Amino acid sequence: MKTVATLAPLTTQLLEITRINSAASVLSWDQETYMPAGGGEARAEQIAVLQGIAHDKLVAPDIERFLAATVDPATGQAIDQPGDLWDEPSRSLLREIWRDFSRAKKLPSDFVIRLSRETSLAQQVWAEAKAQNNFRQFLPNLRTVLALKREEAEYLGYETSPYDAMLDAYEPGATIATLRPLFAQMKARLVPLLKRVTQSPNQIDDRILRHAYDQTRQLEFGRLVLVAMGYDFERGRLDLSAHPFTTSFHPTDVRVTTRIHEHELQSCLFSCIHEGGHGLYDQGLDQRYFGTPLGESVSLGIHESQSRMWENSVGRSRAFWQFFYPILQQTFHDQLHGIDLEHFYAAINCVKPSLIRVEADELTYNLHIMLRFEIEQDLIEGRTNPGDLPDIWNQKMQDYLGITPPTDAEGVLQDVHWSFGAFGYFPTYTLGNLYSVQFFEQAKLEMPHLNEEIAAGQLLGLRRWLEQKIHRWGRMFTPDHLARRVTGTSLNPEPFLTYLETKYSELYKL
Protein backbone atom coordinates (compact mmCIF):
# COMPACT_ATOMS: atom_id res chain seq x y z
CA MET A 1 0.00 0.00 0.00
CA LYS A 2 1.26 3.46 -0.87
CA THR A 3 1.67 5.82 2.05
CA VAL A 4 2.57 9.44 2.71
CA ALA A 5 6.21 8.36 2.48
CA THR A 6 5.61 7.53 -1.18
CA LEU A 7 4.85 11.18 -1.69
CA ALA A 8 8.24 12.38 -0.41
CA PRO A 9 9.30 13.89 -3.77
CA LEU A 10 6.22 16.10 -3.47
CA THR A 11 6.18 16.80 0.26
CA THR A 12 9.84 17.83 0.31
CA GLN A 13 9.00 20.60 -2.11
CA LEU A 14 5.83 21.53 -0.26
CA LEU A 15 7.84 21.85 2.94
CA GLU A 16 10.07 24.43 1.33
CA ILE A 17 7.02 26.34 0.05
CA THR A 18 5.44 26.25 3.50
CA ARG A 19 8.60 27.68 5.01
CA ILE A 20 8.50 30.55 2.54
CA ASN A 21 4.87 31.15 3.43
CA SER A 22 5.77 31.01 7.11
CA ALA A 23 8.42 33.64 6.54
CA ALA A 24 5.83 35.84 4.82
CA SER A 25 3.56 35.35 7.84
CA VAL A 26 6.32 36.51 10.19
CA LEU A 27 6.61 39.64 8.07
CA SER A 28 2.85 40.20 8.26
CA TRP A 29 2.80 39.65 12.01
CA ASP A 30 5.60 42.19 12.38
CA GLN A 31 3.72 44.61 10.13
CA GLU A 32 0.70 44.48 12.46
CA THR A 33 2.60 44.59 15.75
CA TYR A 34 5.98 46.29 15.74
CA MET A 35 6.91 47.61 12.30
CA PRO A 36 7.62 51.35 12.26
CA ALA A 37 5.18 53.30 10.11
CA GLY A 38 7.82 54.22 7.54
CA GLY A 39 8.60 50.59 6.76
CA GLY A 40 5.26 49.82 5.15
CA GLU A 41 6.09 50.19 1.48
CA ALA A 42 9.26 48.12 1.67
CA ARG A 43 7.39 45.50 3.64
CA ALA A 44 4.67 45.18 1.02
CA GLU A 45 7.37 44.47 -1.56
CA GLN A 46 9.14 41.91 0.63
CA ILE A 47 5.94 39.98 1.24
CA ALA A 48 5.01 40.17 -2.44
CA VAL A 49 8.36 38.70 -3.47
CA LEU A 50 7.97 35.80 -1.04
CA GLN A 51 4.41 35.07 -2.10
CA GLY A 52 5.43 35.21 -5.73
CA ILE A 53 8.23 32.72 -5.14
CA ALA A 54 5.95 30.40 -3.14
CA HIS A 55 3.42 30.52 -5.96
CA ASP A 56 5.99 29.79 -8.64
CA LYS A 57 7.34 26.87 -6.69
CA LEU A 58 3.88 25.38 -6.22
CA VAL A 59 3.06 25.45 -9.92
CA ALA A 60 6.51 24.22 -10.95
CA PRO A 61 6.65 21.61 -13.74
CA ASP A 62 7.93 18.78 -11.53
CA ILE A 63 5.03 19.16 -9.11
CA GLU A 64 2.65 19.29 -12.05
CA ARG A 65 4.15 16.11 -13.52
CA PHE A 66 3.96 14.28 -10.21
CA LEU A 67 0.32 15.22 -9.75
CA ALA A 68 -0.58 14.37 -13.34
CA ALA A 69 0.58 10.83 -12.63
CA THR A 70 -1.23 10.46 -9.32
CA VAL A 71 -4.44 12.54 -9.36
CA ASP A 72 -7.44 12.38 -11.66
CA PRO A 73 -8.03 16.02 -12.65
CA ALA A 74 -11.73 15.39 -13.28
CA THR A 75 -12.45 14.29 -9.71
CA GLY A 76 -9.44 15.67 -7.86
CA GLN A 77 -9.00 12.22 -6.28
CA ALA A 78 -5.94 9.95 -6.17
CA ILE A 79 -5.69 7.41 -8.97
CA ASP A 80 -5.43 3.86 -7.67
CA GLN A 81 -3.53 1.21 -9.55
CA PRO A 82 -5.12 -2.22 -9.05
CA GLY A 83 -3.34 -3.97 -6.19
CA ASP A 84 -1.41 -0.85 -5.19
CA LEU A 85 -3.77 1.45 -3.35
CA TRP A 86 -3.10 4.72 -1.55
CA ASP A 87 -3.75 4.64 2.18
CA GLU A 88 -6.16 7.13 3.69
CA PRO A 89 -3.67 9.87 4.72
CA SER A 90 -1.94 9.87 1.35
CA ARG A 91 -5.31 9.87 -0.41
CA SER A 92 -6.35 12.93 1.60
CA LEU A 93 -3.00 14.52 1.03
CA LEU A 94 -3.23 14.13 -2.74
CA ARG A 95 -6.78 15.50 -2.76
CA GLU A 96 -5.76 18.60 -0.84
CA ILE A 97 -2.49 19.16 -2.67
CA TRP A 98 -4.42 18.95 -5.91
CA ARG A 99 -6.88 21.51 -4.60
CA ASP A 100 -4.08 23.95 -3.77
CA PHE A 101 -2.14 23.25 -6.93
CA SER A 102 -5.07 23.53 -9.30
CA ARG A 103 -6.19 26.82 -7.75
CA ALA A 104 -2.65 28.23 -7.86
CA LYS A 105 -2.10 27.00 -11.40
CA LYS A 106 -4.94 29.18 -12.59
CA LEU A 107 -3.29 32.35 -11.28
CA PRO A 108 -0.50 34.04 -13.24
CA SER A 109 2.62 34.75 -11.18
CA ASP A 110 2.60 38.44 -11.82
CA PHE A 111 -1.01 38.58 -10.66
CA VAL A 112 -0.09 36.92 -7.35
CA ILE A 113 2.67 39.47 -6.79
CA ARG A 114 0.39 42.38 -7.71
CA LEU A 115 -2.35 41.15 -5.42
CA SER A 116 0.07 40.67 -2.52
CA ARG A 117 1.61 44.09 -2.95
CA GLU A 118 -1.72 45.91 -3.32
CA THR A 119 -3.35 44.19 -0.37
CA SER A 120 -0.36 44.87 1.90
CA LEU A 121 -0.50 48.53 0.95
CA ALA A 122 -4.30 48.74 1.17
CA GLN A 123 -4.15 47.25 4.65
CA GLN A 124 -1.85 50.03 5.76
CA VAL A 125 -3.98 52.72 4.12
CA TRP A 126 -7.07 51.22 5.72
CA ALA A 127 -5.48 51.48 9.19
CA GLU A 128 -4.65 55.13 8.52
CA ALA A 129 -8.09 55.87 7.04
CA LYS A 130 -9.81 54.25 10.00
CA ALA A 131 -7.70 56.26 12.45
CA GLN A 132 -8.62 59.41 10.51
CA ASN A 133 -12.24 58.34 9.99
CA ASN A 134 -11.73 59.03 6.30
CA PHE A 135 -13.37 56.52 3.98
CA ARG A 136 -12.40 58.54 0.87
CA GLN A 137 -8.73 57.97 1.70
CA PHE A 138 -9.25 54.22 1.55
CA LEU A 139 -11.58 54.20 -1.45
CA PRO A 140 -8.95 54.10 -4.24
CA ASN A 141 -7.19 51.17 -2.59
CA LEU A 142 -10.50 49.40 -2.06
CA ARG A 143 -11.34 49.81 -5.74
CA THR A 144 -7.95 48.39 -6.71
CA VAL A 145 -8.32 45.40 -4.42
CA LEU A 146 -11.87 44.75 -5.60
CA ALA A 147 -10.79 44.80 -9.23
CA LEU A 148 -7.98 42.37 -8.43
CA LYS A 149 -10.31 40.02 -6.59
CA ARG A 150 -12.75 40.03 -9.50
CA GLU A 151 -9.85 39.30 -11.81
CA GLU A 152 -8.87 36.44 -9.52
CA ALA A 153 -12.37 34.98 -9.59
CA GLU A 154 -12.26 34.97 -13.38
CA TYR A 155 -8.99 33.03 -13.30
CA LEU A 156 -10.36 30.57 -10.77
CA GLY A 157 -13.68 30.11 -12.51
CA TYR A 158 -17.18 29.72 -11.04
CA GLU A 159 -20.60 28.48 -12.07
CA THR A 160 -23.01 31.13 -10.88
CA SER A 161 -21.29 34.04 -9.16
CA PRO A 162 -17.66 35.16 -8.84
CA TYR A 163 -18.44 35.40 -5.13
CA ASP A 164 -18.66 31.59 -5.00
CA ALA A 165 -15.00 31.36 -6.04
CA MET A 166 -14.15 33.57 -3.08
CA LEU A 167 -16.26 31.68 -0.56
CA ASP A 168 -14.67 28.41 -1.59
CA ALA A 169 -11.20 29.78 -0.89
CA TYR A 170 -11.98 30.10 2.81
CA GLU A 171 -14.56 27.37 3.25
CA PRO A 172 -14.18 24.54 0.76
CA GLY A 173 -17.61 23.71 -0.61
CA ALA A 174 -19.44 26.84 0.56
CA THR A 175 -21.57 28.67 -2.02
CA ILE A 176 -24.12 31.44 -2.07
CA ALA A 177 -26.71 28.74 -2.75
CA THR A 178 -25.92 26.91 0.51
CA LEU A 179 -25.43 30.01 2.66
CA ARG A 180 -28.53 31.96 1.69
CA PRO A 181 -31.08 29.49 3.12
CA LEU A 182 -28.89 29.07 6.20
CA PHE A 183 -28.94 32.79 6.89
CA ALA A 184 -32.69 32.91 6.16
CA GLN A 185 -33.31 30.14 8.66
CA MET A 186 -31.27 31.92 11.29
CA LYS A 187 -32.90 35.23 10.60
CA ALA A 188 -36.34 33.68 11.08
CA ARG A 189 -35.42 32.58 14.59
CA LEU A 190 -33.01 35.31 15.68
CA VAL A 191 -34.99 38.40 14.78
CA PRO A 192 -38.04 37.40 16.87
CA LEU A 193 -35.75 36.35 19.71
CA LEU A 194 -33.98 39.70 19.58
CA LYS A 195 -37.35 41.45 19.68
CA ARG A 196 -38.45 39.51 22.78
CA VAL A 197 -35.15 40.25 24.46
CA THR A 198 -35.18 43.98 23.77
CA GLN A 199 -38.82 44.24 24.84
CA SER A 200 -38.36 42.21 28.01
CA PRO A 201 -39.03 44.18 31.20
CA ASN A 202 -35.96 42.44 32.69
CA GLN A 203 -33.08 44.38 31.17
CA ILE A 204 -29.46 43.78 32.11
CA ASP A 205 -27.25 46.45 33.62
CA ASP A 206 -23.75 46.09 32.15
CA ARG A 207 -22.32 49.48 33.13
CA ILE A 208 -19.84 47.75 35.39
CA LEU A 209 -17.87 46.67 32.31
CA ARG A 210 -17.21 50.26 31.37
CA HIS A 211 -15.53 51.42 34.54
CA ALA A 212 -11.80 52.14 34.35
CA TYR A 213 -9.68 48.97 34.35
CA ASP A 214 -5.90 49.18 34.44
CA GLN A 215 -4.57 48.10 31.06
CA THR A 216 -1.56 46.16 32.31
CA ARG A 217 -3.74 44.14 34.64
CA GLN A 218 -6.22 43.46 31.87
CA LEU A 219 -3.43 42.01 29.80
CA GLU A 220 -2.12 39.93 32.70
CA PHE A 221 -5.56 38.49 33.33
CA GLY A 222 -5.90 37.63 29.64
CA ARG A 223 -2.57 35.86 29.82
CA LEU A 224 -3.67 33.91 32.91
CA VAL A 225 -6.78 32.65 31.10
CA LEU A 226 -4.69 31.67 28.06
CA VAL A 227 -2.41 29.61 30.28
CA ALA A 228 -5.42 27.91 31.88
CA MET A 229 -6.76 27.07 28.39
CA GLY A 230 -3.50 25.29 27.66
CA TYR A 231 -2.14 27.85 25.22
CA ASP A 232 1.60 27.20 25.38
CA PHE A 233 3.69 30.34 25.78
CA GLU A 234 6.85 28.37 25.07
CA ARG A 235 5.40 28.04 21.59
CA GLY A 236 3.54 31.31 21.40
CA ARG A 237 3.22 34.98 22.31
CA LEU A 238 0.59 37.54 23.17
CA ASP A 239 1.07 41.01 21.68
CA LEU A 240 -1.00 44.08 20.93
CA SER A 241 -2.36 45.07 17.53
CA ALA A 242 -5.12 47.30 16.17
CA HIS A 243 -7.19 44.27 15.18
CA PRO A 244 -6.70 41.07 17.25
CA PHE A 245 -5.52 38.10 15.22
CA THR A 246 -3.77 34.74 15.39
CA THR A 247 -0.96 33.67 13.11
CA SER A 248 1.16 30.56 12.94
CA PHE A 249 4.61 29.95 11.49
CA HIS A 250 4.80 26.35 12.73
CA PRO A 251 3.02 24.51 15.59
CA THR A 252 5.99 25.58 17.73
CA ASP A 253 5.45 29.29 17.04
CA VAL A 254 1.81 30.37 17.10
CA ARG A 255 1.10 33.96 18.06
CA VAL A 256 -2.02 35.74 19.21
CA THR A 257 -2.71 39.44 19.64
CA THR A 258 -5.27 41.45 21.54
CA ARG A 259 -6.18 45.05 22.14
CA ILE A 260 -6.97 46.84 25.37
CA HIS A 261 -9.48 49.57 26.08
CA GLU A 262 -9.37 50.99 29.59
CA HIS A 263 -13.14 51.45 29.71
CA GLU A 264 -14.20 48.22 28.00
CA LEU A 265 -13.32 45.25 30.16
CA GLN A 266 -14.77 42.84 27.60
CA SER A 267 -12.52 43.87 24.76
CA CYS A 268 -9.15 42.53 25.88
CA LEU A 269 -10.64 39.67 27.89
CA PHE A 270 -12.74 38.07 25.18
CA SER A 271 -10.32 38.77 22.37
CA CYS A 272 -7.65 36.91 24.36
CA ILE A 273 -9.96 33.93 24.84
CA HIS A 274 -11.13 34.09 21.22
CA GLU A 275 -7.65 34.25 19.73
CA GLY A 276 -6.53 31.65 22.26
CA GLY A 277 -9.09 29.28 20.74
CA HIS A 278 -7.53 29.87 17.33
CA GLY A 279 -4.09 29.48 18.86
CA LEU A 280 -4.92 26.10 20.40
CA TYR A 281 -5.98 24.82 16.99
CA ASP A 282 -2.71 25.89 15.39
CA GLN A 283 -0.61 24.59 18.29
CA GLY A 284 -2.57 21.33 18.11
CA LEU A 285 -1.82 20.57 14.46
CA ASP A 286 0.29 17.47 13.85
CA GLN A 287 3.93 18.55 13.57
CA ARG A 288 4.86 15.46 11.60
CA TYR A 289 2.71 16.72 8.77
CA PHE A 290 4.06 20.28 8.88
CA GLY A 291 4.59 21.51 5.36
CA THR A 292 1.69 19.53 3.91
CA PRO A 293 -2.06 20.18 3.90
CA LEU A 294 -2.43 17.57 6.65
CA GLY A 295 -0.52 19.98 8.87
CA GLU A 296 -2.89 22.86 8.08
CA SER A 297 -6.26 23.86 9.50
CA VAL A 298 -9.17 22.59 7.45
CA SER A 299 -11.20 25.77 6.90
CA LEU A 300 -11.88 29.18 8.36
CA GLY A 301 -15.32 28.08 9.53
CA ILE A 302 -13.87 25.23 11.56
CA HIS A 303 -11.09 27.52 12.79
CA GLU A 304 -13.65 30.04 13.93
CA SER A 305 -15.64 27.30 15.66
CA GLN A 306 -12.66 26.87 17.97
CA SER A 307 -12.30 30.54 18.82
CA ARG A 308 -16.04 31.03 19.28
CA MET A 309 -16.42 27.92 21.41
CA TRP A 310 -13.78 29.18 23.82
CA GLU A 311 -15.06 32.73 23.71
CA ASN A 312 -18.77 31.99 24.07
CA SER A 313 -19.65 28.42 25.04
CA VAL A 314 -16.84 28.47 27.60
CA GLY A 315 -15.88 32.11 28.20
CA ARG A 316 -19.42 33.48 28.54
CA SER A 317 -20.69 30.55 30.59
CA ARG A 318 -21.64 30.66 34.24
CA ALA A 319 -19.40 27.66 34.95
CA PHE A 320 -16.27 29.41 33.63
CA TRP A 321 -16.79 32.41 35.84
CA GLN A 322 -17.50 30.34 38.94
CA PHE A 323 -13.79 29.71 38.89
CA PHE A 324 -12.41 32.84 37.25
CA TYR A 325 -14.63 35.57 38.66
CA PRO A 326 -13.09 35.49 42.14
CA ILE A 327 -9.68 35.93 40.50
CA LEU A 328 -10.98 38.78 38.38
CA GLN A 329 -12.47 40.36 41.51
CA GLN A 330 -9.10 40.17 43.23
CA THR A 331 -7.41 41.68 40.17
CA PHE A 332 -9.88 44.57 40.04
CA HIS A 333 -10.97 44.81 43.64
CA ASP A 334 -12.05 48.44 43.56
CA GLN A 335 -14.30 48.01 40.56
CA LEU A 336 -15.81 44.60 41.29
CA HIS A 337 -15.85 43.98 45.04
CA GLY A 338 -19.58 44.66 45.44
CA ILE A 339 -20.63 42.93 42.22
CA ASP A 340 -21.77 39.31 42.57
CA LEU A 341 -21.21 36.55 40.04
CA GLU A 342 -24.75 36.66 38.68
CA HIS A 343 -24.52 40.37 38.04
CA PHE A 344 -21.22 39.92 36.22
CA TYR A 345 -22.45 36.89 34.27
CA ALA A 346 -25.48 38.83 33.09
CA ALA A 347 -23.38 41.87 32.19
CA ILE A 348 -21.07 39.90 29.88
CA ASN A 349 -24.13 38.40 28.20
CA CYS A 350 -26.07 41.60 27.83
CA VAL A 351 -27.79 41.82 24.43
CA LYS A 352 -27.64 45.21 22.83
CA PRO A 353 -27.57 46.07 19.15
CA SER A 354 -24.18 47.70 18.75
CA LEU A 355 -21.85 49.03 16.12
CA ILE A 356 -18.78 46.81 16.26
CA ARG A 357 -18.97 43.21 15.11
CA VAL A 358 -16.16 41.81 17.19
CA GLU A 359 -17.74 43.21 20.34
CA ALA A 360 -21.30 42.18 19.49
CA ASP A 361 -23.22 39.82 21.78
CA GLU A 362 -23.90 36.29 20.58
CA LEU A 363 -27.43 37.09 19.48
CA THR A 364 -26.80 40.13 17.29
CA TYR A 365 -23.40 38.96 16.03
CA ASN A 366 -24.77 37.07 13.04
CA LEU A 367 -26.79 40.06 11.94
CA HIS A 368 -23.49 41.87 11.47
CA ILE A 369 -22.40 38.99 9.25
CA MET A 370 -25.60 38.93 7.19
CA LEU A 371 -25.14 42.60 6.42
CA ARG A 372 -21.60 41.99 5.18
CA PHE A 373 -22.66 38.88 3.23
CA GLU A 374 -25.20 40.94 1.31
CA ILE A 375 -22.89 43.86 0.71
CA GLU A 376 -20.09 41.59 -0.51
CA GLN A 377 -22.32 39.87 -3.06
CA ASP A 378 -23.49 43.21 -4.40
CA LEU A 379 -19.94 44.55 -4.55
CA ILE A 380 -18.49 41.50 -6.25
CA GLU A 381 -21.36 41.09 -8.67
CA GLY A 382 -21.02 44.76 -9.57
CA ARG A 383 -24.38 46.01 -8.32
CA THR A 384 -22.82 48.40 -5.81
CA ASN A 385 -20.51 51.33 -6.38
CA PRO A 386 -17.79 51.15 -3.72
CA GLY A 387 -18.11 54.91 -3.23
CA ASP A 388 -21.63 54.38 -1.89
CA LEU A 389 -20.53 51.90 0.76
CA PRO A 390 -20.80 54.19 3.80
CA ASP A 391 -24.45 54.99 3.03
CA ILE A 392 -25.31 51.41 2.22
CA TRP A 393 -23.61 50.22 5.37
CA ASN A 394 -25.43 52.70 7.55
CA GLN A 395 -28.80 51.91 5.97
CA LYS A 396 -28.36 48.19 6.56
CA MET A 397 -27.23 48.77 10.14
CA GLN A 398 -30.45 50.68 10.67
CA ASP A 399 -32.51 47.93 9.02
CA TYR A 400 -30.96 45.01 10.88
CA LEU A 401 -29.93 46.48 14.19
CA GLY A 402 -31.87 49.70 14.48
CA ILE A 403 -28.79 51.87 14.93
CA THR A 404 -26.64 54.07 12.70
CA PRO A 405 -22.88 54.45 13.12
CA PRO A 406 -21.93 58.03 13.98
CA THR A 407 -18.64 57.64 12.10
CA ASP A 408 -17.34 55.46 9.27
CA ALA A 409 -14.55 54.31 11.58
CA GLU A 410 -17.28 52.62 13.61
CA GLY A 411 -19.12 51.67 10.46
CA VAL A 412 -17.85 50.52 7.11
CA LEU A 413 -14.19 50.99 8.08
CA GLN A 414 -14.32 48.89 11.24
CA ASP A 415 -12.99 45.63 9.79
CA VAL A 416 -9.61 45.04 8.18
CA HIS A 417 -10.77 42.21 5.90
CA TRP A 418 -11.68 43.99 2.70
CA SER A 419 -8.37 45.83 2.72
CA PHE A 420 -6.49 42.57 2.30
CA GLY A 421 -8.96 41.27 -0.24
CA ALA A 422 -10.77 38.85 2.07
CA PHE A 423 -14.16 38.95 0.38
CA GLY A 424 -16.07 35.78 1.24
CA TYR A 425 -14.34 35.56 4.60
CA PHE A 426 -17.07 37.02 6.83
CA PRO A 427 -19.62 34.22 6.29
CA THR A 428 -17.15 31.79 7.84
CA TYR A 429 -17.68 33.62 11.13
CA THR A 430 -21.30 32.55 11.14
CA LEU A 431 -20.34 29.02 10.11
CA GLY A 432 -17.94 29.09 13.03
CA ASN A 433 -20.70 30.10 15.43
CA LEU A 434 -22.89 27.25 14.25
CA TYR A 435 -20.13 24.64 14.30
CA SER A 436 -18.94 25.81 17.70
CA VAL A 437 -22.18 24.94 19.46
CA GLN A 438 -22.62 21.76 17.45
CA PHE A 439 -19.16 20.62 18.57
CA PHE A 440 -19.59 21.80 22.14
CA GLU A 441 -22.85 19.86 22.55
CA GLN A 442 -20.99 16.78 21.36
CA ALA A 443 -18.16 17.45 23.81
CA LYS A 444 -20.69 17.63 26.65
CA LEU A 445 -22.19 14.31 25.56
CA GLU A 446 -18.81 12.63 25.54
CA MET A 447 -17.54 14.36 28.69
CA PRO A 448 -20.42 14.24 31.15
CA HIS A 449 -18.44 16.19 33.74
CA LEU A 450 -17.29 18.93 31.39
CA ASN A 451 -19.36 21.60 33.10
CA GLU A 452 -17.95 20.69 36.52
CA GLU A 453 -14.43 20.69 35.11
CA ILE A 454 -14.89 24.15 33.66
CA ALA A 455 -16.37 25.36 36.95
CA ALA A 456 -13.19 24.12 38.64
CA GLY A 457 -10.97 26.00 36.16
CA GLN A 458 -9.93 22.70 34.58
CA LEU A 459 -9.98 23.51 30.88
CA LEU A 460 -7.43 21.02 29.66
CA GLY A 461 -9.93 18.18 29.26
CA LEU A 462 -11.82 20.16 26.64
CA ARG A 463 -8.61 21.21 25.00
CA ARG A 464 -7.48 17.59 24.72
CA TRP A 465 -10.84 16.54 23.30
CA LEU A 466 -10.63 19.25 20.65
CA GLU A 467 -7.09 18.31 19.82
CA GLN A 468 -7.99 14.65 19.37
CA LYS A 469 -11.24 15.22 17.50
CA ILE A 470 -10.35 18.24 15.38
CA HIS A 471 -6.93 19.87 15.62
CA ARG A 472 -4.63 16.96 14.94
CA TRP A 473 -6.39 16.00 11.72
CA GLY A 474 -5.52 19.09 9.76
CA ARG A 475 -7.05 18.79 6.30
CA MET A 476 -7.34 14.99 6.45
CA PHE A 477 -11.13 15.33 6.11
CA THR A 478 -13.19 17.98 4.38
CA PRO A 479 -15.01 20.37 6.76
CA ASP A 480 -18.27 18.55 6.17
CA HIS A 481 -16.68 15.13 6.66
CA LEU A 482 -15.04 16.34 9.85
CA ALA A 483 -18.35 17.63 11.22
CA ARG A 484 -20.00 14.28 10.48
CA ARG A 485 -17.10 12.41 12.00
CA VAL A 486 -17.17 14.44 15.21
CA THR A 487 -20.92 14.94 15.69
CA GLY A 488 -22.60 12.43 13.39
CA THR A 489 -24.24 15.13 11.25
CA SER A 490 -23.37 17.83 8.77
CA LEU A 491 -23.54 21.49 9.71
CA ASN A 492 -26.78 22.02 11.61
CA PRO A 493 -27.91 25.41 12.90
CA GLU A 494 -30.36 23.87 15.36
CA PRO A 495 -28.00 23.42 18.34
CA PHE A 496 -26.85 27.02 18.01
CA LEU A 497 -30.39 28.42 17.82
CA THR A 498 -31.61 26.29 20.72
CA TYR A 499 -28.59 27.31 22.77
CA LEU A 500 -29.31 30.99 22.24
CA GLU A 501 -33.02 30.66 22.91
CA THR A 502 -32.37 28.76 26.14
CA LYS A 503 -29.61 31.06 27.34
CA TYR A 504 -31.44 34.31 26.71
CA SER A 505 -34.81 33.02 27.92
CA GLU A 506 -33.22 32.45 31.29
CA LEU A 507 -31.21 35.66 31.34
CA TYR A 508 -34.09 37.87 30.22
CA LYS A 509 -36.81 35.81 31.94
CA LEU A 510 -38.72 35.48 28.66
User: Is 261 annotated among the ligand-binding residues?
Assistant: no
Give min distance, CB of 99 to its own copies, in A: 23
For the purposes of burial, counting CB atoms within 10 Å of the CB of 199, is it exposed (0-12), middle (13-18) or buried (19 or more)? exposed
Q: Which stretch binds its own copies (CB under 8 A): 248-256, 320-328, 403-411, 420-428?
A: 248-256
Long-range contacts, stretch 494-502, CB < 8 angstroms, 24+ apart: 495/434, 495/437, 495/438, 495/441, 496/433, 496/434, 496/436, 496/437, 496/438, 497/186, 497/189, 497/190, 499/313, 499/437, 499/441, 500/190, 500/193, 500/362, 500/363, 501/189, 501/193
Question: Comparing C-alpha atoms, which of 182, 227, 249 is closest to residue 463?
Answer: 227
Q: Count of CB atoms within 10 A of residue 223's CB?
A: 16
User: Is 274 annotated among the ligand-binding residues?
Assistant: yes
Q: Which stretch binds its own copies (CB under 8 A): 41-49, 59-67, 82-90, 328-336?
A: 41-49
Please report whether residue 234 would count as binding its own copies according to CB under 8 A.
Answer: yes
Catalytic residue list: 275
Near its own copies by CB under 8 A: residue from 46, 116, 218, 241 = 46
Crossing angle of helices 389-401 and 362-380, in 10° steps, is 150
Binding footprint of its own copies, residue count (CB under 8 A): 37
Please report whether residue 223 would count as binding its own copies according to CB under 8 A.
Answer: no
Please report whether residue 22 would count as binding its own copies according to CB under 8 A.
Answer: yes
Complete edge-to-edge strand list for the sheet that includes strand 253-258: 236-240, 253-258, 246-250
CB 19 within 8 A of CB 54: no
Give min distance, CB of 376 to its own copies, in A: 32
Which residues, 290 to 329, sit near its own copies by CB under 8 A?
290
Nearer to its own copies, 155 or 233 (CB): 233
Q: Which stretch binds its own copies (CB under 8 A): 25-33, 270-278, 313-321, 498-506?
A: 25-33
Please report whether residue 279 would count as binding its own copies according to CB under 8 A.
Answer: no
User: Is 152 annotated among the ligand-binding residues?
Assistant: no
For the purposes of burial, counting CB atoms within 10 Å of the CB of 414, is it exposed (0-12), middle (13-18) or buried (19 or more)? buried
Residue type at 463? R
Please report whether residue 41 would count as binding its own copies according to CB under 8 A.
Answer: yes
Please report whether residue 286 would count as binding its own copies according to CB under 8 A.
Answer: no
Give min distance, CB of 182 to its own copies, in A: 38
Nearer to its own copies, 21 or 492 (CB): 21
Q: Which stretch binds its own copies (CB under 8 A): 231-239, 352-360, 389-397, 467-475?
A: 231-239
Query: Annotated binding residues, as ranges?
Result: 274, 278, 304
